[in-house]
Chains A and B, each alone.
Chain A
């Protein structure tokens, strides 16, 4: 085990003063020595992470570092080959029932929105509550409108995704995930496919969500967002968690050389 891994032990993270002050210390995601291979390529090399309820975590790192693969393992869009992932007391294995149980509680927002183009915005939002949660239609629609209002596009409810701008589509995608009333939200580079003027409208929604106490894990290069919102920032490189620290420490005083170099590159313009 390398030294950064020992630094990520649950014991250590609990010693963080920020942590214990803010949260009830209830672990909702537990990742233990998790490995993943694509064929012979070792993508994720022994990740350890404990996420407490209500905690907001930002993952950054160069492309190809495995950060997207990592969060996609948390709702089993990718399978891991060794180690354990426990989400809300359910371990992710081949068991389809357990996977479905976890997915009900974990919302995900993708880089390319992935809205369903053949359904209206409202139908996109109601689909999973109707068919997975078996919520009555009227109630599902009311919830959907509530969340669409929260992401500030209730007036687009009856349009199709193809008629909306990128920023609007991503806000719908966030609302769609929230309609399932998940306990955890995963964001996989939610602003990377957006034009610069649309990034802010999406980040505003995410900041508002972070303020509501949602557990969030967010892969992003928006360092401003990380600074304002994150409880902890993770830096990943070559399939390993290189550094994990509260943002004030992470940005002002990174321990690892690789983190320093990365920060210099992305903050230097």
Chain B
């Protein structure tokens, strides 16, 4: 004879069951829950008030920001400067095109079933920088030239980070391969390069690039400050990247090299077809970590007089016309950085899942 089946006890299922089990299972947990609830209520309420309820969104000048909450009006009024720096208003369509293309190239990467999304990504890594190289500075095909001293804001941040990221990965990969080379001269050069650049703070590199380097160059040879900073960032970043990639290379079993060799694949095919695809997949978290930290480190260009988004905001919050907007400015900058860094992080998780072929299980 079997027992008649009954519904599960009501107090163990559903919302009530979950709450009982996870929040109020013991005196200790009850106290923790109450304390946490108190903290949430006392902090979230005022925060919501400041950000939304009592904030000022519309108006023209600082005088319109009378409420207790945030003065978002300030951000709206100066947004143009935060995004384009001193880029001439009439030519900002060029930057808008670049933003559009950036979105076109990378938005599909977040949509699992998007057709031919691989090609959008390839465009983002090849065509996009090329178009940017022509469009942003101008001076080609009758486009009016805009000197880099007028670039600034979010656009400059993105240029620095994008070029840094794009160049550092391949250079870093070559350095990592060089460091593992059998040829002593190549290996020695790579070790010296990596150890020198990695041991220097980025601030020093930027200072050297903007202040010291011109002193060493012969008369008449000079190139733009932005270009010098970019080269400094790329070299510094590729030294870091080299070590991340080397970590991946070392994780590949010797058998993979042997199997590839035994099939008759030479060094470059073996490396390109068998070793690197596996090594780079393994170190995606490390690579993206480095990218994210570079993205944030680009703010350091402030000290050599380039106005990235942080520099642009910082110079505006001291504007006497706007008082007490410091918090709003920094929150806005933090939010912009968060959007891009979180995007990179999500994309890397996406990529890791896609490339997982189950050989680790």
A positions within 8 Å CB-CB of B = 75, 77, 96, 100, 103-104, 106-108, 110, 112, 114-118, 127-128, 131-132, 160-163, 173, 176-177, 180
Are B358 and A163 interface neighbours, CB within 8 A? yes
Name B264-298 residues within 8 Å CB distance of A. 264-266, 269, 273-274, 277-278, 281
Closest to A115 in B: B259
B221: interface (CB < 8 Å): no
B256 within 8 A of A: yes
> CB of B255 within 8 A of chain A?
yes
**Assembly CA distance A96 to B182 (angstroms):** 14
Are the C-beta atoms of B263 and A118 separated by less than 8 Å?
Answer: no
Q: What is the bound-complex CA distance between A110 and B263, given in angstroms?
A: 12
Q: Min CB distance, A249 to chain B, in Å?
A: 32
Are B264 and A114 in contact, CB atoms less than 8 angstroms apart?
A: no
Contact assessment for A107 and B262 in the assembled complex, using a CB-CB cutoff below 8 Å:
yes
A-B contact pairs, 6 of them (CB 8 A): A103-B264, A114-B256, A114-B258, A118-B277, A127-B263, A177-B262
Contact assessment for A100 and B264 in the assembled complex, using a CB-CB cutoff below 8 Å: yes
B357 CB–A CB distance under 8 Å: yes
Q: How far is the CA of A108 from the CA of B257 in the complex (A)?
A: 13
Q: Do residues B259 and A114 form an inter-chain contact, with CB atoms below 8 A? A: yes
Query: Whole-angstrom distance between the alpha carbons of A131 and B253 in the complex?
Result: 22
Q: Contacts of A163 on B, CB cut-off 8 Å?
A: 357-358
- Provide the bound-state CA to CA distance between A107 and B278, in Å: 23
Kindly name the residue among B264, B357, B359 whose own CB sees the greatest number of chain A CB atoms within 10 A: B264
Give the residue name and chain of the B residue nearest to A102 (CB): B264
- With A162-B357, A162-B359 as known contacts, state yes or no: A118 contacts B265, CB within 8 Å: no
Which residues from chain B contact A96 at a C-beta distance below 8 Å?
266
A118 adjacent to B357 (CB under 8 Å): yes
Residue from the set B258, B263, B269 with the largest chain A CB neighbour count within 10 Å: B263
The answer to whether B264 and A180 have CB atoms under 8 Å apart is: yes
Say yes or no for B261: interface residue by CB 8 A criterion: yes
Cα distance, A127 to B270, chains bound together (Å): 10
Complex CA gap A114/B201 in Å reads: 42
Q: Contact between A104 and B261 (Cβ–Cβ < 8 Å)? A: no
The interface residues of chain B lying within 8 Å CB-to-CB of A162 are 357-361
Closest-by-CB residue of B relative to A129 is: B263
A121–chain B nearest beta-carbon distance, Å: 11
A114–B274 Cα gap in the complex (Å)? 11
Across the interface, name the chain B residue whose C-beta is closest to A96: B266
B189 within 8 A of A: no
Task: List 16 additional contacts besides A114-B253, A116-B256, A162-B361; criterion CB under 8 Å.
Answer: A100-B264, A104-B264, A106-B262, A108-B262, A114-B259, A118-B277, A118-B278, A118-B355, A127-B273, A127-B274, A128-B263, A128-B265, A131-B265, A132-B263, A176-B263, A180-B263
